[in-house]
């Protein structure tokens, strides 16, 4: 356990120092957060008095509805992008082989490299919700257990996709487009900025087949209605099924690709 904590701390410190060395990046993050919040606030204000019926189903206004989606969508993006992007950067900089020569296993390197992005995402999502309160958002009787479970399942599901993406990136020595396409489709149809019920029926069928739709719906109902895990059972089972399939598959893919490249001795190629 102490070794794991030391490695976790080392990777976290490394990535924080790298990020901190580009201080403009921190200002950009804060600015993008505030500009996004202000945009949603004024769109919600424009709709005040005539909130769409599909939003009223959630007993709230548009600003609150969309804010919840925005607060948690980063978990999808960071899970799907972080592993592959870290692998690609290490390939291009020539540091991948050096890291693989350390006592850390390839799987440990991949996971600990995601420590900083996940922690910063947690801070960002909490910050969005707290800023929302400043802007007048009012949540319902929040069920915190449901929120935590859905966040964890969202991370597991999309981490599985991210690990698959990292394995493909490691093997083909370049970024793959499938994860970006899936993320874009999930953002478009996942009920993040507008309710799924506002989509044409045939698109709703596709939407409810996506894990992000069930993740956002579960989180939204946990925050607005205080729904329990049992009340959200269908969304929980669907998201859990994705997680059970994708996360082990992602881990297996990483191990197979690393073993294959180690036999060929081609880690340094990119």
Non-local (6+) Cβ contacts of 45 within 8 A are 63
**Res 268: pLDDT:** 52
Q: pLDDT value at position 201?
A: 93
Low-confidence ranges of the chain (pLDDT < 70): 1, 3-4, 23, 87-107, 175-176, 264-270
Instruction: For residues 261 and 87, give the distance between their C-alpha atoms in angstroms, rounded to a whole number.
Output: 14
Query: Quick one: DSSP state of residue 199?
Result: S
Instruction: Kindly state the tokens that stand for 14.
Output: 């490394």
**pTM to 2 decimal places:** 0.85
């Amino acid at each position: 356990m102490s070794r794991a904590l030391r490695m976790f701390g080392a990777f976290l410190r490394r990535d924080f120092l790298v990020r901190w060395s580009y201080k403009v990046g921190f200002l950009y993050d804060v600015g993008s957060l505030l500009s996004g919040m202000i945009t949603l606030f004024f769109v919600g204000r424009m709709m005040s008095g005539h909130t769409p019926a599909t939003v009223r189903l959630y007993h709230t206004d548009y600003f609150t509805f969309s804010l919840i989606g925005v607060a948690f969508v980063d978990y999808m993006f960071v899970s799907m992008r972080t592993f592959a992007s870290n692998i690609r950067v290490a390939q291009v900089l020539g540091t991948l082989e050096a890291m693989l020569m350390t006592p850390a296993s390839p799987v440990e390197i991949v996971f600990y490299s995601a420590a900083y992005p996940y922690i910063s995402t947690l801070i960002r999502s909490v910050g969005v919700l707290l800023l929302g309160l400043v802007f007048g958002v009012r949540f319902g009787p929040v069920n915190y257990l449901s929120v935590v479970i859905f966040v964890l399942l969202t991370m597991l599901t999309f981490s599985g996709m991210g690990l698959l993406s990292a394995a493909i990136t490691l093997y083909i020595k370049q970024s793959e487009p499938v994860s970006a396409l899936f993320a874009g489709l999930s953002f478009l149809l996942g009920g993040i900025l507008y309710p799924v019920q506002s989509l044409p029926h045939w698109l709703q069928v596709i939407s409810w087949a996506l894990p992000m739709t069930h993740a956002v719906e579960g989180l939204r109902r946990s925050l607005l209605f205080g729904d329990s895990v049992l009340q959200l059972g269908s969304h929980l089972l669907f998201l859990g099924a994705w997680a059970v399939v994708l996360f082990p598959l992602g881990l297996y893919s990483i191990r197979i690709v690393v073993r294959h490249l180690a036999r060929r001795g081609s880690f340094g190629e990119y």
